[in-house]
Amino acid sequence: MAQQGTVRARAVRESPTAKLAKFFPEATPVHIPVSLTWGADKAAIRTETTIIEFGTPREVLFASTLPLEFADKLRVHNSDGSFDVEACVVALQYANERTAVAARFTQQVMNWIVKP
């Protein structure tokens, strides 16, 4: 005779960046290591390495520890220099020590992998 039992399912925790991506219907999962350069004042420039987790034809979504605010401009670039763009913060979702950020390109990006 078979016995009936219950199994506790493991909850898959969704990252804050994945939650923010739900507001961008064109968002495609990607995994692109980049560096961010940010600073309203040239004397206070800060940098950070992160991963672009989602992309649209016009935006990149990533997690950051920088104290970014809506409309801040930052530079997003990869290690070989083939991707080096300016972007403007258009959405933030605060979570613990890292913030999910969506930043929109300030110009058209020719070599961006997510196309319309």
CATH number of residue 57's parent domain: 2.40.10.220
Residue 26 within a domain: yes
| pTM of the complete model | 0.84
DSSP conformational letter for 111: T
> Residue 32: its pLDDT value, please?
95
* Strand partners of residue 86: 75
- At a CB cut-off of 8 Å and minimum separation 6, what does 74 contact? 36, 37, 38, 66, 68, 86, 87, 88, 89, 103
Residue 114 lies in a domain: no
The arithmetic mean of pLDDT across residues 84-106, rounded, is 94
Structure tokens at 48: 């950070």
Q: Residue 7 — very low, low, confident or very high, per pLDDT cuts 50/70/90? A: low
Q: Which two tokens stand for residue 59?
A: 């935006």
Instruction: State mean pLDDT over 7-23.
Output: 80
Distances (CA, A) of 111 to 52, 57, 82, 85: 15, 11, 8, 10
Residue 87: predicted pLDDT = 97
User: Are 57 and 116 contacting, i.e. CB atoms less than 8 angstroms apart?
Assistant: yes
Name the residue range of residue 88's domain: 16-105
- Does the residue 36 lie in any domain? yes
Q: Is residue 112 part of a domain?
A: no
Tell whether the model's pLDDT for residue 1 goes beyond 60: no
State yes or no: pLDDT of 12 exceeds 70. Answer: no
In a domain, 10, yes or no: no
Mean pLDDT of 77-83: 91
Q: How many domains does the chain have?
A: 1
pLDDT tens column, 23-52: 999 999 999 999 999 986 666 789 999 999
